[in-house]
Amino acid sequence: MGTIKFDVPDELEDRFREWAMKRFGHKRGSLGKAGEEAVSVWVAEQDIDLEITPAQNPILSKRGALSQVEASSTDLKHSVGEMLLEEHRAKRDTDE
């Protein structure tokens, strides 16, 4: 069996210890069981991400697509709304 050691922020460590004890009890090996479960879940998620191609998972194909944009997501959302409203008004005005 291998050993993995890494540092985490104090708040995360406290929450991890609290949940490990709630789930596995206040006995020897509780942290190890919780750590093994956490790493197993993370690895399984990575395996799923690798198995799904960007064509199957549109979220993966979009990651980083807007990294060069300096506007916030809220600003982008509002600008899209304004753009759609302008298109609607233009179409409405030409139909009359």
Domain spans of the chain, in order of start? 7-65, 67-96
DSSP string, 24-45: H-SSTTHHHHHHHHHHHHHHHH
- Kindly report the pTM of this predicted structure: 0.50
Give the separation between CA 25 and CA 33, rounded to whole angstroms.
11
Compute the mean pLDDT over every residue in the chain, rounded to the nearest whole number.
85
**Model pLDDT for residues 22-63, shown as the tens digit of each residue:** 999 999 999 999 999 999 998 888 777 666 666 666 666 677
